Amino acid sequence: MLLHLSPRYYLRYSDIKLDLIDVSIPELNLTLKGDVDIVARTPYPNKCYQIACRKKGRKAINGLFIETDGILTNFTQITRWAVNGEIATHKIHFHILDSDFDAITSEIMMWNAFHNTPFLSRKSEIHENWLPATNQPRMLPILENKKESQREQQRLIYNLVSDDGFIMERTEFFPIPTVETHRITVPFWGNQRFPFPDDAFIAKVTPYDYT
């Protein structure tokens, strides 16, 4: 199964120092270390988004590929960031809704139908009112506006906030559809900044004890 994941931090404050510590998936016994395996770069025109990608070359890539030897139905992505020297942890619990195809992407935009392609919409009833601008999983330093509050109400999102207002831990529950592998690996305008398939990290699906 091919996973496209895009751990991200939304940072619009120049006085906050941000570093990527690591990204781990317990169900795959996989930990990718910051500045060794992965780095945070800015592939979007909006340079406030820092997104983890494989440490290779200088091009800013949108996320990373992980190739597994089996099928997943649930897994957890845990990203740790150093924010002004303090550790902030972002947990996303992915629930895969179907088994129609053998790939997933955490990029909500990629679930849409695309004109002049064979790709139809992969959104379910759960996702009918979802928009990338408001529902894309992301970590951020503080809760700062009504839009973010609405996003928390629409989805299951929990924040642990420090006494000075910083988000130290965020947990999100994210139902996700499968997609065609070609949707995320064959180049077209929708995936221009995606990784190359050859740059995928390899991982084995292992039983994980949640107790």
Structural domain of residue 15, as residue ranges? 2-203
- The count of structural domains within the chain is 1
**Residue 210: inside a domain, yes or no?**
no
- Does position 21 have pLDDT exceeding 70, yes or no? yes
pLDDT at 102: 96
The pLDDT tens digits for 88-132 are: 999 999 999 999 999 999 999 999 999 888 999 999 999 988 888
Which segment, 156-165, 182-191, 195-204, is predicted with the most confidence on average?
195-204
**Residue 208: inside a domain, yes or no?**
no
pLDDT at 122: 97
Q: Which residues of 174-188 are buried (b: 16+ CB within 10 A; e: fewer)?
A: bebbbbbeebbbeee
**Mean pLDDT, rounded, of the chain:** 92
The Cα–Cα gap between 4 and 107 comes to 8
CA angle, 59 as apex, 56 and 179 as ends, to 5°?
85
CA angle, 146 as apex, 144 and 149 as ends, to 5°?
85
**Residue 68: inside a domain, yes or no?**
yes
**Residue 209: inside a domain, yes or no?**
no
**Residue 119: inside a domain, yes or no?**
yes
**Residue 8: inside a domain, yes or no?**
yes
**Residue 195: inside a domain, yes or no?**
yes
Is the pTM for the entire model greater than 0.85? Answer: yes
Average pLDDT over residues 61-81: 97
Yes or no: say if 98 and 175 are a contact pair by the CB < 8 Å rule: no
Q: Name residues whose C-beta falls within 8 Å of residue 87's C-beta, 6 or more positions apart in sequence.
A: 21, 80, 81, 168
Quickly tell me which residue has 């930990």 as its tokens: 31
pLDDT at 209: 53
The pLDDT tens digits for 126-183 are: 998 888 888 999 999 987 665 555 555 556 899 999 988 899 999 999 999 999 999 9
What the block records as the tokens of 130 is 């979802």
pLDDT band, very low/low/confident/very high, at 198 (cuts 50, 70, 90): very high
- Does position 207 have pLDDT exceeding 80, yes or no? no
**Residue 109: inside a domain, yes or no?**
yes
E strands, the chain, are 2-5, 8-10, 18-25, 30-33, 38-41, 49-54, 64-68, 74-83, 86-96, 103-105, 157-161, 167-176, 201-203
pLDDT at 189: 85
Dihedral sign computed on CA atoms, order 180, 185, 189, 190? positive
Average pLDDT over residues 65-94: 96
pLDDT at 14: 84
